[in-house]
Structure 1
Amino acid sequence: MLPPEAFSVVRKSFDARKVLKEPKFVYTVDIDVSKLLSLEPSSWDFISRLEPKVGLVEHMPHVRASGDLISIVHDCKKASDGALPLKNISHGSEGSYKYPTIRKPKVAVVGSGPSGLFASLVLAELGADVTLIERGQAVEQRGCDIGALVVRRILELESNFCFGEGGAGTWSDGKLVTRIGRNSDSVLAVMNTLVYFGAPKNILVNGKPHLGTDKLIPLLRNFRQHLQRLGVTIKFGTRVDDLLIENAHVVGIKVSDSKDKSHQDFQKLGYDAVILAVGHSARDIYQMLLSHNMNLVPKDFAVGLRIEHPQELINSIQYSGLASEVHNGRGKVPVADYKVVKYVSSEDGDAPVNLGATSRSCYSFCMCPGGQVVLTSTNPSELCINGMSFSRRSSRWANAALVVNVSTKDFDALNFHGPLAGVEFQREFERRAATMGGGNFVVPVQTVTDFLENNLSATPVPPSSYRLGVKAANLHELFPTHITDALKHSISMFDKELPGFISKAALLHGVETRTSSPLQIPRCNDTYESTSLKGLYPVGEGAGYAGGIVSAAVDGMYAGFAVAKNLDLFSGDIESVLGKAQGSGFVKY
C-alpha cells in the first residue's frame, strides 16, 4: 500500500451528468512525488504508469504557508519586524516630554458581513484601532428577531434576514462556491480562515462547499471573539446616519441607536479611515451618499421569481435510480441540486421599442437543495424573498431563484433615472408583490404550469416551505411583459435540460429582486479609496464589487491591506501576499 502522507485530496465532487453511465464521485488528488519516493522507493513503477498530462505537474515550494489569513498577516509582521512608522508617534503635550507613544490609526468598518469582518481582521492584526459598526444585532439576538418575524410576523427593521452579524449570507444557504478562482491564494486564505473559526475542513475539498446557517452562527461567534481579543470595538444596534466631511475628506461618522427612528440622539465619532461594507440592502446609506454628491453608478443585476419543487423530484431528475440513496442528506449521495443558464432573445417584438432587440440571460440563482423560502424584506410595505438551507439540507423542498438580467434600459422604460434608478426598480416590484400577496408578508404564488399558460392557480395551491403564508396570484401581472416572457421561454428550455422541471407540484413565488447591488460606488483600483471622497473605502457586495460570501470576503481582505498601506501599517506589495486581485468590476459569487 502506498503511504498516504504523500497524497492530498484537493477536490471531491459528485458527477451526475447524463452522459455518464452512472453518477460517481470524482477526486482530484495532489501527489508529492519526492515524498512518495522517499517513503516508498519502489513506487516509481506506480508513478511511471500515471502518464500525467501537460500542465498537471508542478514543482512544489519547499515551504508552504498555512493558508489562513491570521497566519498570513503574522508572516507579514515578522517580515517587517512589526514596526509602526514614525508618523504615528506622538510626544505628549507641548512644553513637556514623554517617552514616545504610538497612536494607532483609528478605522471604522461599517457593516459586519463578510467584507467588513475580513477587513476588520486584517486591520486589527496589523495594529489599527478598529471599530466595527453594525446596524443589526449579534447572531444570538438576531436569531430571536428572525424567530419573531417567522412566528409572529414582527419585522425588526434593523435586525432581520438582511441586517445583522454576518450579513445577509448568515440566514441564507451559506454557499462558498465562487467564480473568482477556487484555487487562488486569496480564496484559499478565506476558506482556511473559515476553517480556523470553526467551519468543517471538508469545505476545502468539496466541489460545492456549503456551510448552512446552523454552522455559520457558531463560526461568527468565534470570529467576533477573536476580533474582540485583538481589541476591536464592536457596536451592534448602531446605525450610521451620516459622514463627517472636511475638505472632501471623510474624518468620521455620525451614528445613532438603530432603534431610534428620530435620528435625533446621535454621536459624532472621528476616524482616520472609514470602510463602507454595508451590503446591498442598505438603501438609506445610498441615499445619504447621494446627498454628499458622491458618484454612484447604476449597474446591471437580475430579478425574477423563486421556484420550489419537492426535493425528491429534483433527486429523481438528477440521479434517476440513485435518488433513493439520498435519504434527506444522510445517504450515500448528496442532496441533488441544479444550475441552469439560458439566453432568450427578445427579437420577437415583446420588448418595448426603447429597449430594442436584446438577448437576456436567464438563470438559476442561489439554488437551495433541502431548503426553504424565506422573507428578506426590510420594509413592511415591500416584499422580497430568498432561499436558505441548514447544513444537512434535510427539508422536503428544493428552491432556486429563476432570474432575468436587467439594465439601465429597463430602468429607463419605467421612468426610473439617476444613480438610484436600480433601487427604485427593485422597490417597484417589491411593492407590487406585497400588494398581490394582500399584505402581512403573504407571498403571491402560481404553479409553473399555470404561469406558462397565464392561468390563476386553483386553491389550494401546492404546499410551500414559506412559513408566513402564500396566496394564489397571476404572476404575469408582476413584471413587464418582456421580463415575464423571458422567464416563460427559459423555463421551457430548462425543462428540456431537466425533464420534469415543469411540474404541477412546482410553485413559483414572487418576488426575487436583491440578487446583487443595484449600483456601484466607484473607487481607485489600487488604493480602494472612493473617487469622490478621500478617507472612504467602499467594499463588498453593497459597493458593487462582489456577489456572495467568498468574493465579498476576498474584497474586504484586499481592502483591509489597502487601507493599512495607506495608513502606513503595511508597506509590502498586496498582491505578493494574496495573489492578483479580482479586479475593479462586479464579480458574481
Structure 2
Amino acid sequence: MALLPSKLPLTYPNSTLFSSPPRLSSLHLPPFRVSCAKRTGKKRYPSEKKKLKLKHKEVLTTVENKFEGTWRLFKLGVPVEKDPGKDFHGLSDALMQEIAKVLEFPVASLLPREAFSVIRKSFDARKMLKEPKFVYTVDMDVHRLLILEPRARDFISDLEPKVGLMEHFAKEKVSNDVISIVHDLKSNQEVVGANGFNSHSGPYLRMSNGKPKIAVVGSGPSGLFASLVLAEFGADVTLFERGQPVEQRGRDIGALVARRILELDSNFCFGEGGAGTWSDGKLVTRIGRNSGSVQAVMKSLVYFGAPKNILLNGKPHLGTDKLIPLLRNFRQHLETLGVSFYPIPVLGFVTIKFGTRVDDLIEEGGHLTGVKVSDSRDKLKLSKQKLGYDAIVLAVGHSARDVYQMLLSHNIPVIPKEFAYSGLANEVEKGRGKVPVADYKVAKYVNIDTKNPSSNSVAASRSCYSFCMCPGGQVVLTSTNPEELCINGMSFSRRSSKWANAALVVTVSTKDFNDLGFQGPLAGVEFQRELEQRAAVMGGGNFVLPVQTATDFMDRRLRVTSVPPSSYRLGVKASNLHELFPGHITEALQQSILAFDQELPGFLSSDALLHGVETRTSSPIQIPRNLETYESTSVRGLYPVGEGAGYAGGIVSAAVDGMYAGFAVAKSFNLYHGDLETVLGKAQNSGSVICTCTSLIETDFEQTVVGPVTATVELMKNT
C-alpha cells in the first residue's frame, strides 16, 4: 500500500500567485466579459453562418458525366419519431423520403434501396432546431440506380454538386484498411531496397537478414500502426513496450483499484494499447472524419474486431471492453508478420511478452544506431542490453517523462507547448429508446479587462470549454507515481453507469509556467508534477481524491464535508479545490461555470462534484521533426510520432500519425516509393496549442491540446 509523504510542501514557487482569492460575492465581476461561443459561431464569428449559407448555394466544378460514379448526399435529416433509432443504420422509409426530396423524385417508394448506402449517421439535438433529428450522409450508386430505375435519369441530369450538401465522385469512392492499402501498393510497384541501405556495425545484439531493422518504442495507437505498416512492407520490426500486454495489464489495474497496489510501468497510462485502452474509447477526430487516412484507420480497427457501426456513427465509441480483444487480435497479426515483442530472447527462445523499457539511445556520428533496454520491473537495471537498429520510431505516450529527459541528454530539442488545464463536468444520462446517450459541448471566452485587471490575473484572456464528454462512465486513477495524483474518465461500450464526466478546460501558456518559477523545455512537465503532488497531499494520501461541490467551488469555501456519491472507487475527500489552482485559473473556471449554467441550466448545483486533478490528456512538449520525412530535425534515424511527441491528441489522430510515419520510414529505406497523398490525402500536422482535459482520448485537435490540471464535475442521475 503506497503512502504519500506528509512533509510535501503545499506552497508553489511563487506563493503570492496562489494566495486564496476573495469569495465570489466579493469578486469584481464587471471587468470580466464572458461571451458565448456556440457551434453556430453566431456570436464569435457573426459572418460565418451567412458565409456557410452562401457556400451551400455555390456550385462546385462542373461534372463531366453525371450518370457515372457516385453522388454523396449530406445533411439528410430525419426527425426522431420517424427514425428507427440510434442502433439502426439502414435505409428507413423516412430517409428515403429525404433522398427523394433532394433528387426531386416524386415517389420515394420507387427509388431502389440497393442503389443507396448509409455512410454516416449522427444525432443533432441543438436548441436552435425545432425538434431533434438524426442526420445522415448517403452515397448513391448512379449506375445501379439507372439499371433498377431508368426514369431517375432525368432527375440526375439536374443535379449539381454544392459545398457541404452534395458531391460527385467520378469513380466509386472506396477506402481500404491499412493492410489492404499496403498490399495494393506492393502489387502495383516493384518493392525494392531490401539491401538498399547501409547497415551499422557495432557491439550490439542484431540480426542480419537483409531487411532494415526498425525499433518501435511504445505500443499505443501510433506505435501499433507504424509497426503494422513497416511489417507489411517487409521490415524487421521490434516493438518495445514498458508496460504489459492487456491480459496482465488488466490484472495490474485490478490490483490498483481493489488493493491500491500501483505498478509503475503497468497501469492506466502504461501498457499495450497506450493510455487510451482504459479510457472512454472515443474515435472522434477533427482531422477529417471522412478523409482517406481516418477511414483507413477505422476500417483497420474493424478488421481487428471493432463493430462495423464505428464506420457510420457520427461520434463513434468503442469502450475498454471492446478495445481489449481488438488489441489482442492486432498483436496476433503482428506476430504472424514476424514482429518481435520483447523482453530479449533468453536461452535461445523468444518469450512473447512486454515489460521492456528503453533507457537510452545509441548515437554514432549524428545517427542513431540502437537502443539500450532493460526489464521494466528490474529497478536496478541489471538486465540492460544494447541492441542495434537502423531507425527508431519513438511512439511513447504523454506520460513518458523519463524519455523526455533522456532526449535532452542527447541534445535533441524538446519544445515546451502552451497548454490548458481544466475542470471536468460529469452529467449522467443514459440513451433511452431511440435517442443515443447524452452528450454536450459548451465553450466560453473569458476576457479580462486589461484596463482594470484583477490583482491575481496574469493573462488578459483565456478560453474555457468542455472537452471529452464521457457519458455513462467513471473517474479512474491515472497516476504513474504514488506521490502524484491525476485522474481520467473511462467507460465501457454500453456506457451504462449512472455517471458521466467531461473536462472543463482553461488554457495556460508558458508565461504561466515562468511566473511559477518553472523554466526550460520541461517547464510544462514540472507544472503538471507540482499540481499532481499538491492534489495528492490535499487528498490525504493513499490515492484518495480531493473533491468539492460546484457550489462550494464557486463560493470558495468548504461548507459540506458529506459530498455526493462519486464513481471514483478509491475514495474521495471534501477539499478546497479552489485553492489547488492558481488564482487566475480559479477565476476563469468560475466565470465559465456561471456562463455554462445559463446555457445548460443545472450545470451549477450542489449535486455536481468536482474532482482534482487531471494532467495527462496530452503531451506538454513537442519534438521537432521534418514535415515530409517525419525524421527528427536534430539526429538521423529518429522518428518522433504520436501524442507523446506532440503530434496527436486521441486514438484516431495518433493512429493516423503512426501510419503516415510508417510509410515515411518505409520510403526512406526504399521499401515503398510513391506519393502517399494520392492514396490517403495530405497528412494534417497538429498545431502548437496543448490543452488539459479530464478525458485522455481526446479528441483529435487540429491544434492539439493537453492538460496539466483538471477538476472533474460529476452528477449522479436521479433514479
Length-normalised TM-score, structure 1: 0.92
In structure 1, how many angstroms separate the alpha carbons of the residues matched to 2:455 and 2:303? 50
Q: Give the 3 Å change call, closer, same or farther, for CA 54–162 of structure 1 in structure 2.
A: closer
Percent of residue pairs bearing the same amino acid type:
74
Q: Counterpart of 1:295 in structure 2: which amino acid?
A: P
Q: Counterpart of 2:379 in structure 1: which amino acid?
A: K
**Displacement, 1:43?**
3.4
- Aligned residue number for residue 420 of structure 2: 302
**In the alignment, which of 537, 540, 546 is matched to residue 435 of structure 1?**
537
Q: Give the 3 Å change call, closer, same or farther, for CA 288–51 of structure 1 in structure 2.
A: closer
Q: Which moved more, 1:76-85 or 1:176-185?
A: 76-85
Does the Cα contact within 8 Å between 2:416 and 2:622 map onto a contact in 1? yes
**Displacement, 1:82?**
3.4
| 1:264-275 map, 5 Å | 264-275=382-393
- Aligned residue number for residue 130 of structure 1: 237
**Displacement, 1:233?**
0.6
1:286 and 2:404 correspond: yes
Q: Counterpart of 1:499 in structure 2: which amino acid?
A: P
- Aligned residue number for residue 477 of structure 1: 579
1:214 and 2:321 correspond: yes
**Displacement, 1:59?**
3.7
Q: Give the 3 Å change call, closer, same or farther, for CA 538–51 of structure 1 in structure 2.
A: closer
In structure 2, how many angstroms separate the alpha carbons of the residues matched to 1:52 and 1:398? 41
Does the Cα contact within 8 Å between 1:523 and 1:529 map onto a contact in 2? yes
In structure 2, how many angstroms separate the alpha carbons of the residues matched to 1:237 and 1:47? 59
**Displacement, 1:441?**
0.6
**Displacement, 1:506?**
0.6
Q: Could you report, residue by residue, the CA deviation over 1:463-503 in whole angstroms, capped at 9, with x for unpaired residues? A: 00000000000111101100111111111111111111112
In structure 1, how many angstroms separate the alpha carbons of the residues matched to 2:625 and 2:663? 15
- Aligned residue number for residue 194 of structure 1: 301
**Displacement, 1:50?**
7.9
**In the alignment, which of 202, 206, 230 is matched to residue 337 of structure 2?**
230
Q: Which moved more, 1:414-423 or 1:362-371?
A: 362-371
- Aligned residue number for residue 350 of structure 1: 454
In structure 2, how many angstroms separate the alpha carbons of the residues matched to 1:398 and 1:54? 36
1:564 and 2:666 correspond: yes
Q: Secondary structure at the match of 2:526?
A: helix
1:169 and 2:276 correspond: yes
Q: Give the 3 Å change call, closer, same or farther, for CA 229–472 of structure 1 in structure 2.
A: same
Q: Give the 3 Å change call, closer, same or farther, for CA 584–485 of structure 1 in structure 2.
A: closer
- Aligned residue number for residue 362 of structure 2: 244
- Aligned residue number for residue 126 of structure 2: 17
Q: Give the 3 Å change call, closer, same or farther, for CA 49–478 of structure 1 in structure 2.
A: same
**Displacement, 1:144?**
0.5
**Displacement, 1:430?**
0.3
Does the Cα contact within 8 Å between 2:194 and 2:210 map onto a contact in 1? no
**Displacement, 1:64?**
4.7
Unaligned runs of 5+ in 1: 91-100, 313-327
Does the Cα contact within 8 Å between 1:525 and 1:584 map onto a contact in 2? no
Q: Counterpart of 1:19 in structure 2: which amino acid?
A: M
Unaligned runs of 5+ in 2: 1-108, 200-207, 343-353, 689-701, 706-719
1:538 and 2:640 correspond: yes
**Displacement, 1:6?**
1.1
In structure 2, how many angstroms separate the alpha carbons of the residues matched to 1:358 and 1:552? 33
1:331 and 2:436 correspond: no
In structure 2, how many angstroms separate the alpha carbons of the residues matched to 1:470 and 1:508? 11
Q: Counterpart of 1:10 in structure 2: which amino acid?
A: I
Q: Counterpart of 1:307 in structure 2: which amino acid?
A: A
- Aligned residue number for residue 374 of structure 2: 256
- Aligned residue number for residue 410 of structure 1: 512
**Displacement, 1:585?**
3.4
Does the Cα contact within 8 Å between 2:548 and 2:577 map onto a contact in 1? yes
In structure 2, how many angstroms separate the alpha carbons of the residues matched to 1:121 and 1:61? 31
Q: Secondary structure at the match of 1:499?
A: coil
Q: Counterpart of 2:453 in structure 1: which amino acid?
A: G
Does the Cα contact within 8 Å between 1:296 and 1:522 map onto a contact in 2? yes
Does the Cα contact within 8 Å between 2:217 and 2:396 map onto a contact in 1? yes
- Aligned residue number for residue 105 of structure 1: 212
| 1:50-129 map, 5 Å | 53=162, 56-62=165-171, 64-87=173-196, 103-129=210-236
Q: Which moved more, 1:415-424 or 1:286-295?
A: 286-295
- Aligned residue number for residue 520 of structure 1: 622
Q: Give the 3 Å change call, closer, same or farther, for CA 246–452 of structure 1 in structure 2.
A: same
Say what the alpha-carbon RMSD is for the aligned residues: 1.9
In structure 1, how many angstroms separate the alpha carbons of the residues matched to 2:154 and 2:678? 38
In structure 1, how many angstroms separate the alpha carbons of the residues matched to 2:129 and 2:233? 51
Report how many residues are paired: 561
1:449 and 2:551 correspond: yes
Q: Which moved more, 1:176-185 or 1:17-26?
A: 17-26
Q: Secondary structure at the match of 1:432?
A: helix
Q: Which moved more, 1:4-13 or 1:267-276?
A: 4-13
**Displacement, 1:337?**
1.2
Length-normalised TM-score, structure 2: 0.75
Q: Counterpart of 1:245 in structure 2: which amino acid?
A: E
Q: Counterpart of 1:24 in structure 2: which amino acid?
A: K
Q: Could you report, residue by residue, the CA deviation over 1:560-589 in whole angstroms, capped at 9, with x for unpaired residues? A: 011111111111112222210112635438
Q: Counterpart of 1:374 in structure 2: which amino acid?
A: V
Does the Cα contact within 8 Å between 2:175 and 2:295 map onto a contact in 1? no
Q: Counterpart of 1:131 in structure 2: which amino acid?
A: T
Q: Could you report, residue by residue, the CA deviation over 1:333-376 in whole angstroms, capped at 9, with x for unpaired residues? A: 111011111111233523657x4x42211111221000000100
Does the Cα contact within 8 Å between 1:342 and 1:493 map onto a contact in 2? yes
Does the Cα contact within 8 Å between 2:472 and 2:499 map onto a contact in 1? yes
**Displacement, 1:5?**
2.2
